[in-house]
């Protein structure tokens, strides 16, 4: 058990994490590693596999290595050995850059594609316990002496500190800040997984983009290269359902990309189960924390997926939160303020950059695309500040971004 803030009179700290996704479980594991008593609560009635991939960069892998999870993650992932951008119609590559060994040497860790279910299984095993399921948080009651969580089933739970890791529509966030609404991007995406042998040239895929007017597609291997994960983005102000479980016919995705490269249409047509997800984020928050409650991951800084950093930023959050809460020179409120101060500027910049990337990826052919393609030649320099980031070094130096 961790005597957090003992110099300021605090006793042993019990932490309740609301949300058992990647951010919530990463926080629970990081906190337990530092001796905290941690309970995780989630509204889901059961833990089910979600058919989607996520990418992990050097900045996120640095934390996973520190938590002892790096080998397990590498064993079930695919190393994305290069990044390549293709023209939407011809399929020709107009920009590519090596990843693999180059990326690891430059950024201190690999760039991986991993199936979300595989990653979640690793985190659940490392948490070494069962989240409390069927507990949908509906209210947070905070006092100087502790926090009580109220759940929809009428039950309640107490803690010294509450971490809201319950996503874009976080109930904990409404306790911290009630001022904003989710921002609809007027864009949705089709998501799916396809066996690699059904994708023309799929065995050569790294981090692969097809960019075109008003649409783009991102694909990469997961599960050791057995599957290709794709996310295909389209403007659509009518599709407003934001749900991991929403499904559509593969033909809808194919129709949305009619006339595109045969590689794109073959990939979309080969998905046995296609999800569709409306894309939302929020404006950056002014404050993430109260005296005993804080936010993490999408609850704090939901971002559009166009920078591939949502998962990595949640993992960075987890490392910083655990480190500050375990500092015996800080009271709980001071620890939460320090965590927020370290993380807020960086995540805000990535949030806003993710919005801008959507526009960049979907420009029409001609001068706009030529200008964008010229800028991509500087891609390693443009994104280096994101991927080289070391959250532990940042805490040691007090650097915000």
Both tokens of residue 338?
């320090």
Q: Within 13 Å, how many C-alpha atoms sit on residue 325's CB side? A: 33
The whole-number pLDDT of residue 26 equals 98
The DSSP string of 86-149 is EETTT--EEEEEE-HHHHHHHHSS--EEEEHHHHHHHHHHHHTS--B-S--EEEEEEETTEEEE
The whole-number pLDDT of residue 266 equals 95
Residue 294: count other Cβ atoms within 10 Å of its Cβ. Answer: 31
Q: How far is Cα 32 from Cα 322, in angstroms, rounded to an integer?
A: 9
Q: How far is Cα 386 from Cα 350, in angstroms, rounded to an integer?
A: 8
**Domains identified in the chain and CATH numbers:** 1-47+131-182+283-356 (3.50.50.60), 51-116+183-281+363-401 (3.30.9.30)
Q: What are phi and psi of 133, to 5 degrees?
A: -95, 165
User: What are the helix (H) ranges across 259-331?
Assistant: 262-269, 310-325
84: CB partners within 8 A, 6+ apart = 93, 95, 96, 97, 206, 207, 208, 209
Question: Would you give the end-to-end CA distance of the chain in angstroms?
Answer: 31
Q: How far is Cα 108 from Cα 60, in angstroms, rounded to an integer?
A: 10
The whole-number pLDDT of residue 7 equals 40
Exposure string over 237-248, b if 16+ CB within 10 A, otherwise e: eebeebeeeeeb
- From the list 41, 103, 220, 324, the catalytic residue is 220
The whole-number pLDDT of residue 18 equals 98
Residue showing tokens 């996704």: 21
Q: How far is Cα 131 from Cα 44, in angstroms, rounded to an integer?
A: 10
Q: How far is Cα 333 from Cα 322, in angstroms, rounded to an integer?
A: 13
Q: How far is Cα 290 from Cα 162, in angstroms, rounded to an integer?
A: 10
**C-alpha 261: how far from chain center:** 29
Q: How far is Cα 303 from Cα 307, in angstroms, rounded to an integer?
A: 9
Q: Residue 297 region, left (φ>0) first, then alpha (ψ -120 to 50), else beta? A: left
- 294: enclosing H helix or E strand: strand 293-295
Both tokens of residue 368?
């706009």
Exposure string over 256-291, b if 16+ CB within 10 A, otherwise e: bbeebbebbbbbbbbbeebbbbbbbbbebbeebbbb
Q: Tell me whether residue 220 is one of the annotated catalytic residues.
A: yes
Per-residue pLDDT of the chain (401 residues; tens, 9 = 90+): 445 544 444 446 899 999 999 999 999 999 999 999 999 999 988 877 666 899 999 999 999 999 999 999 999 999 999 999 999 999 999 999 999 999 999 999 999 999 999 999 999 999 988 899 999 999 999 999 999 999 999 999 999 999 999 998 899 999 998 766 788 888 999 999 999 999 989 999 999 999 999 999 999 999 999 999 999 999 987 766 656 567 788 999 999 999 999 999 999 999 989 998 889 888 888 899 999 999 999 999 999 999 999 999 999 999 999 999 999 999 999 999 999 999 999 999 999 999 899 889 999 999 999 999 999 999 999 999 999 999 999 999 876 55
Q: How far is Cα 359 from Cα 144, in angstroms, rounded to an integer?
A: 46
Contact 341, 398 (CB under 8 A): no
Residue showing tokens 């080289």: 388
Both tokens of residue 100?
């693999």
**C-alpha 132: how far from chain center:** 22
Radius of gyration of the chain measured on its C-alpha atoms: 21
- 207: enclosing H helix or E strand: strand 207-212
Residue showing tokens 């690699």: 196
Strand pairing category for 183-195 and 227-235? antiparallel
Q: How far is Cα 165 from Cα 258, in angstroms, rounded to an integer?
A: 38
């Amino acid at each position: 058990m961790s005597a957090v803030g003992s110099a300021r009179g605090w006793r042993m700290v019990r932490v309740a994490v609301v949300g058992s996704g990647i951010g919530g479980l990463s926080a629970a594991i990081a906190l337990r590693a530092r001796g905290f008593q941690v309970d995780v609560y989630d509204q889901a009635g059961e833990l089910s596999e979600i058919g989607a991939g996520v990418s992990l960069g050097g900045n996120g892998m640095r934390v996973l290595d520190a938590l002892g999870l790096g080998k397990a993650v590498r064993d079930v992932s695919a190393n994305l050995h290069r990044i390549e951008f293709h023209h939407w119609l011809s399929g020709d590559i107009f920009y590519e850059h090596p990843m693999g060994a180059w990326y690891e040497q430059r950024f201190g860790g690999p760039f991986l594609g991993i199936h979300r279910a595989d990653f979640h299984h690793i985190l659940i095993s490392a948490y070494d316990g069962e989240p409390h399921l069927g507990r949908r948080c509906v209210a947070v009651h905070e006092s100087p002496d502790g926090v009580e969580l109220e759940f929809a089933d009428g039950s309640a739970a107490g803690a010294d500190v509450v971490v809201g890791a319950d996503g874009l529509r976080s109930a904990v966030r409404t306790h911290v800040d009630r001022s904003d609404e989710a921002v609809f991007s007027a864009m949705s995406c089709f998501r799916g997984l396809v066996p690699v042998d059904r994708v023309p040239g799929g065995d050569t895929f790294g981090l692969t983009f097809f960019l075109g007017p008003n649409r783009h597609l991102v694909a990469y291997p997961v599960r050791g290269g057995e599957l290709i994960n794709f996310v295909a983005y389209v403007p659509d102000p009518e599709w407003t359902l934001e749900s991991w479980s929403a499904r559509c016919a593969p033909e809808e995705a194919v129709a949305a990309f009619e006339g595109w490269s045969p590689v794109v249409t073959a990939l979309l047509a080969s998905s046995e189960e296609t999800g569709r997800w409306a894309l939302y984020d929020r404006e950056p928050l002014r404050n993430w924390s109260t005296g005993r409650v804080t936010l993490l991951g999408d609850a704090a800084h939901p971002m559009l997926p166009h920078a591939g950093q949502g998962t990595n930023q949640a993992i960075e959050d987890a490392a910083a939160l655990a480190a500050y809460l375990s500092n015996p020179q800080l009271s709980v409120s001071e620890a939460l303020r320090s965590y927020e101060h370290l993380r807020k500027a960086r995540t805000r910049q990535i949030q806003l950059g993710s919005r801008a990337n959507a526009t960049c990826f979907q420009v029409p052919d001609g001068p706009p695309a030529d200008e964008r393609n010229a800028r991509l030649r500087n891609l390693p320099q443009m994104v280096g500040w994101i991927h080289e980031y070391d959250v532990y070094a940042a805490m040691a130096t007090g650097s915000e971004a």
